[in-house]
């Protein structure tokens, strides 16, 4: 597989994972349906007390919860799971498009 980078001017605008010519697209599709990553936001509890947080940690809990929810929205498109290839492409695109290198 390879990352197909689409450019506009000197900037990456999108990233898509594509199979190499010697790879079987059907096999890659089969793998993608088995290699799923769970959205970490899906398992987050909104009630910090039920998770064992004490009063001193409530602000930290709220910040963590907000960041994990943002991660889930941005990289999982709000879905409970995504396949590992899609997640890799989404993360690569975010890094490259936003020039975080």
Summarised one tens digit per residue, pLDDT across range 58-68 is 667 778 788 88
Q: Which residues contact 29 (CB under 8 A, 6 or more apart)?
A: none
- Please tell me the pTM assigned to this model: 0.74
pLDDT reported for residue 87: 94
Mean pLDDT of the chain: 84
Q: Cα(30)–Cα(28) distance, rounded to whole angstroms?
A: 5
Tokens of 100: 């975080």
């Amino acid at each position: 597989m390879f990352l197909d980078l689409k450019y506009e001017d000197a900037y990456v605008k999108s990233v898509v994972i594509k199979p190499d010519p010697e790879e079987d697209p059907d096999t890659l599709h089969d793998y993608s349906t088995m290699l799923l990553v769970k959205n970490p936001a899906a398992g987050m509890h909104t009630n910090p007390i039920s998770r064992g947080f004490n009063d001193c940690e409530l602000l930290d809990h709220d910040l963590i919860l907000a960041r994990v929810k943002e991660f889930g929205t941005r990289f999982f498109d709000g879905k409970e799971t995504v396949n590992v290839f899609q997640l890799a492409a989404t993360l690569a695109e975010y890094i490259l498009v936003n020039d975080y290198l």
